[in-house]
Structure 1
């Protein structure tokens, strides 16, 4: 947040939110700052954060000051880049959860901010805390992940909670163990090994974990996630309450819409907005009886609340309109593709091979190679990048026709 990054459409201000949470007051402050000193365009990210686009050079300092005054940003400026801890937007409320991970998330964020040596971690180095929730992002690899267990937390590296854990951290030793692990990573990693997967490609995992006093990992497979619960209304573990999820088209949120959602959060919920790692919003603690009215109000703001809707099944990066690396206007093309997207098909449109909008493989990926032209890839875990290249140089009409074919069609 403190470092404005240049982009094709002006400066880019990335705001990292602790646990993806912000208050209605903070949401209004973000909307006002974007309207006054930037383009008025906000983007929600796959890390449950947001970014303000089109920051004007003469307004950058004032924008950052306004965000800090709203209680956003790190306690130590040097810690801004390393505050990367992902948890479920329904943490503490999901009926399926094994444990409320929010207290541990606060401890780990305090560790990352307060331990100056950890400020040397890569800005992309990230941790995931999994409480066993049904609403969880389990396809996004993290450098370190912890998954709740009756006796503590299962620990894994360079993967997801669906992977086999490497050991069990006993209850009460989570913060100390993570701190020791991160320091050991910094001790052993070279300058070129900024991510856990890079270190483990050269170092036996047992050497990295030596001295951490982990217990053997029990064989307790992680229950599948139910990501459709990111949209619509769903009951919480608290009786009589539900959360209501919505998402803006392709993760792009006008400032006036954010301000309106903040008002709805105060009127229908507890005054909080939770960002989701699917580029959406979740309003918690809504009385079940008022959920239909809230869903109608969100729909009137052009937000998607049905997981079957075409725009709920499309992801697109900023594209050539805002990024110099983008080969096509991916967001504009995605809106056009939505009109002809076959039912049940999920597609990621990427303007370049970096795949900024999605960390893993989508069922289908359209990779831009020229304006309005895409190569089509199908998910294949044995292939690097987006998967198996199925067709090349497709127009949007041709891509829609390919996507309508069954998997057995050649």
Structure 2
């Protein structure tokens, strides 16, 4: 991609097409200012690019940077200098020159893609081909800015619960690499609709996207909407590919490894280190500090994760303590046992007109109230959309009014957030309930 900045004529002045979803070129208004979302290729952010994002957040916005639940970054509180902001980010190599090509860059990988000792294959070459296909095919620019693809190579550190319009997961059949796939779901939930050899992975993605655009009406922007009127079996039958659908494929299930995403992470050579900004929010100083550690002790790159965290790769074991100390000193969470590491929260009423509670501040208060018996993950959401978490958390607090929440526990037998266990709770009441043993909460 050329690294020359946009001219005044080239820079964006209007939203490229109707959507409420922010992008690099589409700065969407919120209560706290504009939001610009930077879609990272496979979550990869080079150290110099991190510095550019930090500088842009300081110069053109209020200094708030968020890690998203799909491995991207967004800048909040943007003022009026939209053109200059986009210019700066493009000059750092953080987006394509065409606005429509940016919208469709929704491909999720493991933050340890290519570095995970449990991976069945290196997902990065195919991921690069898929991103090139999405960016470079004008027909695919018709896809919704939310239409998303996941490529799972069997890594131990992998988000397996976020739903995607198309997911692909590596599997070995007769000692050869294949890709099982499904629609409008996730690898952990299935169902598997078939498999193709690894070398046909790009052709499969192309065929699925083309068939979706052939069949979907303007009101059917996501795969789940199309599948309400077209069965998955009929959809797959029309792909025009030789899809393997024998019992060995259809009965396959992706088994999770329950790897922690914070702290030391294994690699075939050296170690990776997972760290998280509290509630997904980075200051420019945090991002610069992480970039400096990556430059000096790692391979000069950061990887954004779907847990709203960062992964630094290729650190030597003798440098881990030094890296953790430096990152902890700038406010990043480095260990899973830290109270704030167990809590996520949406933007809250200070930044979003739909939110009924100040969830970010309430999350800090709640963290101090949680004991060892609380669920491993608690999410505070200001409205039923639950924007900050794409899957259902083990425990969800849904705001009813400032400082008061309904408590839900995840239950596979019930839709939405799960089973309602408490209504109109104060934070103290919610903390006390969450600290009860699970069997008492389920009574």
**TM-score (normalizing by structure 2):** 0.90
SS in 2 for 1:320: coil
Show the counterpart of 1:206. Answer: 233
Count residues with an aligned counterpart: 406
Show the counterpart of 1:252. Answer: 281
Mapped partners of 2:368, 2:161: distance in 1: 27
Show the counterpart of 2:410. Answer: 379
Structure 2 residue aligned with 1:222, among 241, 246, 254? 254
Show the counterpart of 1:182. Answer: 209
SS in 2 for 1:321: coil
Show the counterpart of 1:30. Answer: 53
Mapped partners of 1:186, 1:47: distance in 2: 23
Show the counterpart of 1:197. Answer: 224
Is the 1:75–1:113 Cα contact (8 Å) retained in structure 2? no
SS in 2 for 1:319: coil
Mapped partners of 2:343, 2:45: distance in 1: 25
SS in 2 for 1:104: helix
Query: Is 1:242 aligned with 2:274?
Result: no
Mapped partners of 1:187, 1:278: distance in 2: 34
Mapped partners of 1:372, 1:43: distance in 2: 23
Structure 1 residue aligned with 2:34, among 4, 11, 14? 11
SS in 2 for 1:14: strand
Q: Could you list the per-position Cα deviations for residues 300-355 of structure 1 after superposition, in whole angstroms to 9, with x for gaps in the alignment?
A: 11111111221111010000010011101000000000101122522100000001
Show the counterpart of 2:316. Answer: 287
- The offset of 1:192, in angstroms, is 1.7
Show the counterpart of 1:77. Answer: 99
SS in 2 for 1:377: strand
SS in 2 for 1:123: coil
- The offset of 1:169, in angstroms, is 1.2
Query: Is 1:87 aligned with 2:113?
Result: no
Q: Could you list the per-position Cα deviations for residues 238-261 of structure 1 after superposition, in whole angstroms to 9, with x for gaps in the alignment?
A: 2xx110110010000001110111
- The offset of 1:212, in angstroms, is 2.5
SS in 2 for 1:203: coil
Query: Is 1:402 aligned with 2:433?
Result: yes
Mapped partners of 2:217, 2:226: distance in 1: 8
- Where does structure 2 lack aligned partners over 5 or more consecutive residues? 1-23
Structure 1 residue aligned with 2:153, among 92, 115, 131? 131
Query: Is 1:165 aligned with 2:210?
Result: no
Mapped partners of 2:380, 2:27: distance in 1: 26
Show the counterpart of 1:153. Answer: 179
Mapped partners of 2:117, 2:400: distance in 1: 44
SS in 1 for 2:242: coil
Mapped partners of 2:281, 2:267: distance in 1: 27
- Where does structure 1 lack aligned partners over 5 or more consecutive residues? none
- The offset of 1:194, in angstroms, is 1.1
- The offset of 1:78, in angstroms, is 1.1
Mapped partners of 1:273, 1:350: distance in 2: 28
Is the 1:235–1:288 Cα contact (8 Å) retained in structure 2? no
Is the 2:285–2:330 Cα contact (8 Å) retained in structure 1? no
Is the 2:90–2:97 Cα contact (8 Å) retained in structure 1? no
Query: Is 1:341 aligned with 2:355?
Result: no
SS in 2 for 1:408: helix
Structure 1 residue aligned with 2:78, among 51, 55, 65? 55
SS in 2 for 1:244: strand
- The offset of 1:116, in angstroms, is 0.7
**TM-score (normalizing by structure 1):** 0.97
SS in 1 for 2:349: helix
Show the counterpart of 2:6. Answer: none
Query: Stretches of 4+ moved more than 4 A in 1?
Result: none
Mapped partners of 1:314, 1:11: distance in 2: 25
Mapped partners of 1:129, 1:179: distance in 2: 14
